Amino acid sequence: MRSLSRREFLAQLSLAGATTLVGCQSSPKSPHPSASPASPAQALLPVDQFSLVQYPEKLPLRLLTDRPPQLETPLEYYVHDLTPNEAFYVRWHLSEIPTRIDLDSYRLRLGGHVDKSLSLSLDDLRKQFEPVAVVAVNQCSGNQRSFFDPHVAGAQWLNGAVGCARWTGVRLKDLLAAAKVRSGALEVTFQGLDRPPTSAVANFVKSLSLEHANQDEVMLAYEMNGAPLPILNGFPLRMVVPGWYATYWVKALSQIQVLDRPFDGYWMKSAYRIPNNDEMSEAPDKLAKDTVPIHRMLVHSFFSSTAPGDKIPVARPCSLQGLVTHSGTEVKGVEVSTDDGRNWQPAQLDASLGRYAWRRWRLDWTPQQSGPVGLRVRATLENGETQPEQQWNRSGYARNAIERVPVEVV
């Protein structure tokens, strides 16, 4: 049994200092100029936007809100190809999160439009179904929301609401086969153990089409990087939907329902909607009338070695590094500009870690003169998908505009 009372959980909160930085900067990282603290409606602790807190099973992470917990991974941890469990970002939607889980009584229940309802313990899942593993990026839909201009409401993430891990568990399609889905089934819904604070707030329930749910890569993970999931990342079981934003990766999974009708729950019908176009973009003065639930990740590249405001020594070699996230299409190339977009040069790509993993890029750079410099990076996929100069939507989702990092060469 893995047990932690809510009082014990909250009692273990402690403030901590920043960790050692990596990369080619020579001064402490400074905030992005467009970043702003969480709004009063979100923040329940009197802390600034760069306070670090340490929750159970976690290293010091950037605090956005404490109820529900929203904790951001600092850039220095992205030196790892697989994000350490203790540094992996945290995002919950409902304030009443599970902090005490008894594996003797825990059951995953699968029912609805099936011939055989299932009630499975974690041991049942391990013993009765074939284990599978995938290396995949998990990214919050609102990652980099603080960079949108004009500013939009919501959790003000910088670059750190993303991580890449090796997920081990069982295929969802194997459970659906065991339950014998009936003819006419259309969708599958997923709900966790977290609960809303009042009846006025909808339970967090997400859905996939039956066709998507039966794809090989969609799975239920009970391990993360070879260890049980941290409580804050969904212990004992979470959905893994590679290539799609993390809103579908339901944590502390407890219920799966097969439906013979379209699902119209709040978190699909009203929340997490994006403009119905390939760019997921709209204009502030002309909002899209046609919206759809957010889905696959757009291609995006970012700097992991360098942050806005860094001071970089002149005439000394510097290794610029970063990562590309995407929905599963092969990365064709990454280009970096060290003169604010006037000229571009190809970066070197590390070996692929898997179809749904992020891809690391590198570029050696020796700045020749002092002064302000605008670094930029853009990625292109084999199918031609690339990053736009600008992108915006009212909810601050799926940002993939070309990354720009202002630094000072000294």
- Sheet containing strand 300-303, strands side by side: 300-303, 318-325, 359-365, 348-349
> In the predicted model, is pLDDT for residue 336 greater than 70?
yes
pTM comes to 0.89
Among candidate residues 338, 345, 319, 355, the one with its CA nearest the CA of residue 405: 338
SS3 224: strand
> In the predicted model, is pLDDT for residue 37 greater than 50?
no
Strand blocks (E) in 338-385 = 345-346, 348-349, 359-365, 371-381
Section 237-256 average pLDDT: 98
Distance of CA 11 to the CA centre of its chain: 27
Section 234-246 average pLDDT: 98
CB within 8 Å of 301: residues ≥ 6 apart:
322, 323, 324, 325, 334, 361, 377, 378, 379, 387, 403
Section 387-403 average pLDDT: 97
Query: Percent of the chain beyond pLDDT 90?
Result: 87
Section 339-360 average pLDDT: 98
pLDDT classification of 24: cutoffs 50, 70, 90: low
> In the predicted model, is pLDDT for residue 32 greater than 70?
no
Q: Are 401 and 298 in contact (CB under 8 A)?
A: no
Return the DSSP state at 48: -
> In the predicted model, is pLDDT for residue 117 greater than 70?
yes
SS3 29: coil
> In the predicted model, is pLDDT for residue 97 greater than 90?
yes
Among candidate residues 228, 251, 231, the one with its CA nearest the CA of residue 240: 251
pLDDT classification of 136: cutoffs 50, 70, 90: very high
> In the predicted model, is pLDDT for residue 268 greater than 70?
yes
- Give residue limits of the domains in the chain: 300-409
pLDDT classification of 95: cutoffs 50, 70, 90: very high
Question: Rounded CA gap, 60 and 231, in Å?
Answer: 16
Return the DSSP state at 129: S
Q: Quote the tokens at residue 204.
A: 């967090």
Instruction: Output Rg (C-alpha) for the chain, integer angstroms.
Output: 21
Whether cis (ω within 30° of 0) applies to the bond prior to 68 is yes
DSSP state letters, 251-281:
SSEEEEEEESS----HHHHTSSEEESSTT--
pLDDT classification of 44: cutoffs 50, 70, 90: very low
Report the topology of domain 300-409: Immunoglobulin-like (2.60.40)
CA distances from 377 to 32, 81, 217, 304 (A): 16, 19, 30, 11
Calculate ∠ Cα 384-390-394, nearest 5°.
110
**pLDDT recorded at residue 15:** 32
> In the predicted model, is pLDDT for residue 203 greater than 50?
yes
**pLDDT recorded at residue 56:** 95
Among candidate residues 123, 190, 137, the one with its CA nearest the CA of residue 167: 137
DSSP state letters, 166-200:
EEEEEEHHHHHHHHTBPTT--EEEEEES-B-SSTT
**pLDDT recorded at residue 193:** 98
pLDDT classification of 43: cutoffs 50, 70, 90: very low
**pLDDT recorded at residue 388:** 97
Model pLDDT for residues 168-191, shown as the tens digit of each residue: 999 999 999 999 999 999 999 999
- Mean pLDDT of all residues in the chain? 90
Q: Are 408 and 312 in contact (CB under 8 A)?
A: yes
Q: Quote the tokens at residue 207.
A: 């859905």
Q: Are 84 and 43 in contact (CB under 8 A)?
A: no
> In the predicted model, is pLDDT for residue 293 greater than 60?
yes
**pLDDT recorded at residue 51:** 86
